[in-house]
Chain A
Amino acid sequence: MPTIMGLSGNEAVAHAMRQINPDVVAAYPITPQTELMHQFAEFHADGLVDTELVLTESEHSAMSATVGAAAAGARAMTATSANGLALMWEIVYIAASLRLPIVMPVINRALSGPINIHCDHSDTMGCRDSGWIQIFSENCQEAYDNALMAVKISEHKNILLPTMITLDGFILSHTLERVELLDDDVVKKFVGDYHPEHALLDVDHPITVGPLDLQDYYFEHKRQQIHAMTQVFPVIEQVAGEFAKLSGRRYGLIEEYRLDDAERAIILMGSSVGTAKDVVDDLRDAGEKVGLIKIRVYRPFPYDAIRAALKKLKAVAVLDRAVSFGTFGGPVYTDVRATLYGNGVNLPVINYIYGLGGRDIDKAQIKSAFDDLKNIVKSGRIGEELRFLGLRD
């Protein structure tokens, strides 16, 4: 029987980690991730996990120790936010290239500078090309569910790539929601026992991990990483299927919300999806044909699913909670635009940057985006491609 609890996102993920019972967890504090590790440290202190907790002197070392532990043959995790992730950046790439199935919750927070502790997606976006799988969470329940599924996805023998699951700082990490926890033994069976094929601690079969890889092999190894990424979607779907049987909750790469006969839609990810769904409902009540596309799996980017969803529409707005300086919009916008070119799908796509540094996004703002789309459809003129929501002029 699932247990229903009132939990913050941090607590929900800490419970997931308690149930996963990783062999090694390395940790270094940064707001808003801190409470996740506080909660996990309490579980550890109470003997509820067998985990070896490595309390490092920095995030760089936390990720380094996680890599060492995973290479040793342990199921290893860490968690971070913003500058912590930036400090890990060098090793984030190494973790992926070593094909280590590490799972890391990232509690999204704006990247300095200026320093700001509140939510946006600039931290995760900084390593979207690092070779990690990235799964975004809409609410605390999803954060919990994603953490459990991530273990199975990462460790799948066709994949062996690390996964970041993200949850919006404060908005989810510190907000109490109704969360349904699976039973401990159900989770234990779901994630299974971990038996890596190669491990440093298998001393009778010595391996060299992380060698110098020059002109004659590096390229082929990158090709293998690219290939592994192409194998991720079927595994995510398979794991989601298994998870749905246990929980009754089914997750796709994207979620289409009231999209079937929609003419206009917005695309976004993270906690704002909930607010946006409300707006869609309101507009639907008023007879407007609007819908929403939630991106859940951001890396690898679900081009086909998004392209198929876009085919039904007359205009779409992409809402980005991060900037990509010097290009023509936010990172999600660039990705969405790239799905369209050269395959017969052609519709106006505009971009809104919103919520930087924790700036609130409200229903009126999201509604204004739908209104803009209405004008675009009516006039046939796109106008400004890059726009802002909730920005003071």
Chain B
Amino acid sequence: MASLKELAAREPKLSPGHRACAGCIPALAFHQVLRSAPGYVVAGCATGCMEVVTTIFPYTAWNIPFIHNAFENSAATISGVEAAYQVLKRKGKVTKDIKFIAFGGDGGTYDIGLQSLSGAMERGHNMLYVCYDNEAYMNTGIQRSSATPFAADTKTAPVGKVHKGKKQYPKKLTEIIIAHDVAYAAQASPSHWRDLNRKVEKALSIEGPAFINVLAPCPPGWRFPSDMGLEMARLAVETCFWPLYEFENGKRKLTYKPKEKLPISEWTKHQGRFRHLHQEENKHLLEQAQQEVDRRWNELLALCGESA
């Protein structure tokens, strides 16, 4: 595993000067993922915040070959790039060793791009797909996605007099990808950068399709102060809302277990999108959210062969 010194010394694949918001954790997640990848990488990204802030023509923040095609096809597009690599390498037209990373937001991955991602994983392309999960469609103005947490306030599932934010729990995307029996799958968080770094290195070193779901808090979307992004990511892990684990050789493994599982309110209380959960009349919603986190956490512990 690369040391911090080695990581810091690497040429950045994504340059500073892109146009992400102050405190944007998706941008940080991209930096962490790309820094973890030594050597040549070709990257793609789905339409969304990160594509938009890094590629406003005639500028680009990408120091490596980069392709954006559309919103739902980052995985299919990189499939084509990787297929081209296989054949051109065979024909001797490409001689370098190159890795392939497709990025997509939660909207472009959990929702509209799920089919394209599933296809790419099933076909077994030698690529890493990274979902940066900021838990809503941020680029189009904070609409709910199937990754948005229960009861969160969004523009399409707002908190009103009758309805109190999103009604459903988030889709378990990492588990859906694991069901494809991919070479490698994991959940990571930029707050635990060493863990993330190791997972990316591993995913890129393994032959075959790999997937990493990275939690990526969004200051304007979640409504927290812009210097609190990493703290939001850390609390999501410490409350077990976002467990860090990996799947390899048919087995799941926790890669981090909080010493003391914090209540979900420790995470929600800092975020404007959950403000209503901390009002007396909505207490039951917070309890419901907690129950679901507990249920999923216990289920995962069992799958990982761990005790509570």
Contacts and interface: CB of A to CB of B under 8 A. Distances in A.
Contacts, number: 166
A24 interface: yes
A65 B76 contact: yes
B303 interface: no
A163 to B, nearest CB: 18
B67 A210 contact: yes
A50 B76 contact: no
A323 B168 CA distance: 44
Interface in B77-106: 77-88, 90-91, 93-94, 96, 98
B87 A74 contact: yes
A50 B87 CA distance: 7
Interface in A320-340: none
Contacts of B83: 24, 26, 52, 54, 65, 68-69, 74
Contacts of A209: 65-68
A71 to B, nearest CB: 5
A360 interface: no
A200 B81 contact: yes
Main secondary structure of the interface of A (DSSP, over half): mixed
A57 B84 CA distance: 18
A73 B66 contact: no
B67 A57 contact: no
Given A50-B87, A72-B81, A56 B76 contact: yes
A76 interface: yes
Interface stretch (B50-58, B153-161, B279-287): B50-58
Interface residues of A, number: 43
A76 B87 CA distance: 11
A90 B72 CA distance: 11
B22 interface: no
Contacts of B123: 54-56
A217 interface: yes
A24 B58 CA distance: 30
Given A65-B76, A208-B55, 11 more contacts: A58-B116, A60-B116, A68-B76, A68-B83, A69-B83, A71-B67, A201-B85, A201-B94, A206-B66, A208-B65, A209-B66
8 contacts: A24-B84, A58-B119, A60-B116, A61-B115, A73-B93, A94-B69, A209-B66, A210-B67
